[in-house]
A and B are shown apart, each in its own frame.
Chain A
Amino acid sequence: ETGVTQTPRHLVMGMTNKKSLKCEQHLGHNAMYWYKQSAKKPLELMFVYSLEERVENNSVPSRFSPECPNSSHLFLHLHTLQPEDSALYLCASSQDLGHSNQPQHFGDGTRLSIL
């Protein structure tokens, strides 16, 4: 078990669909993150949650809507996406926010393709 589980692993959707990505961490961490990973580009931080409170929203379009119902679960709700949103979406967690030497632990990601 990786400690951070993401579902689904693959998702194909049309531009008018609504879907959700799910992330669950079993590490007892207090901070959770959503990243977008596109080929040959740096990881793009989308959202950060600390103790279920959103602390970072990096100018992400409103067609992406995060939800953190508790410290173990994180969702990314998707609607009316564009073809350029096709990417690997990674969830990560860390023990706390703002501590130097705590690495982030990642899930395997959801490979999203927009038709």
Chain B
Amino acid sequence: GQNIDQPTEMTATEGAIVQINCTYQTSGFNGLFWYQQHAGEAPTFLSYNVLDGLEEKGRFSSFLSRSKGYSYLLLKELQMKDSASYLCAVLDSNYQLIWGAGTKLIIKP
């Protein structure tokens, strides 16, 4: 079966750095997405990785290792507004998105 694993919940301090991990086992791989979802709102696209390595976009970076079936989302200089759920999703060989259950990130002052 296909599976995406990410931690259920994480807590971090304002101004700090946090890394949210995602591991996957899927039938084929056509890329990995990270989305941010604030409570009661739409998931919004953060990043897309299809090649190994780190993609940096402002305070957010996303890393991929295809051989390890592993990705992480790195958030720097945390702000209170970063409190949200972060969803990892993999595009499989049929171009269908397989979703993780999301990681709820709580930022404390």
Q: Indicate, yes or no, whether A interacts with B.
A: yes
Q: How large is the interface on B (under 10, 10 to 19, 20 to 34, 35 or more residues)?
A: 20 to 34
Q: Which residues of B contact A (CB under 8 A)?
A: 4, 8, 30-31, 33, 35, 40-45, 48, 50, 87, 89, 91, 95-102
Task: State whether B99 touches A42 (Cβ < 8 A).
Answer: yes
User: In the docked arrangement, what's the CA distance between A45 and B55, Å?
Assistant: 27
Cross-chain pairs A/B with CB under 8 angstroms, 5 sampled = A90-B42, A90-B43, A100-B30, A106-B43, A108-B41
A-B pair count, CB < 8 Å, reads 48
The prevalent SS among residues of A at the interface is loop
User: In the docked arrangement, what's the CA distance between A106 and B99, Å?
Assistant: 14
A66, CB-defined interface residue at 8 Å: no
State the Cβ distance, A20 to closest chain B Cβ, in Å.
Answer: 20
With a cutoff of 8 Å between Cβ atoms, the chain A residues found around residue B8 in the complex are: 40
Task: State whether B101 touches A45 (Cβ < 8 A).
Answer: no
Task: State whether B97 touches A4 (Cβ < 8 A).
Answer: no
Give the residue of B45, B91, B101 whose beta carbon is less than 8 angstroms from that of A41.
B101
With a cutoff of 8 Å between Cβ atoms, the chain B residues found around residue A109 in the complex are: 42
Q: Which residues of A contact B (CB under 8 A)?
A: 2, 4, 40-43, 45, 56, 90, 97-101, 103-109, 111
State the Cβ distance, B13 to closest chain A Cβ, in Å.
Answer: 24
Task: State whether A45 touches B96 (Cβ < 8 A).
Answer: yes
Task: State whether A45 touches B95 (Cβ < 8 A).
Answer: no
User: In the docked arrangement, what's the CA distance between A107 and B43, Å?
Assistant: 8
State the Cβ distance, B58 to closest chain A Cβ, in Å.
Answer: 17
Interface centre among A4, A43, A56, A106 (most CB of B within 10 A): A43
State the Cβ distance, B107 to closest chain A Cβ, in Å.
Answer: 20
With a cutoff of 8 Å between Cβ atoms, the chain B residues found around residue A103 in the complex are: 33, 45, 48
Task: State whether B50 touches A42 (Cβ < 8 A).
Answer: no
With a cutoff of 8 Å between Cβ atoms, the chain B residues found around residue A90 in the complex are: 42-43
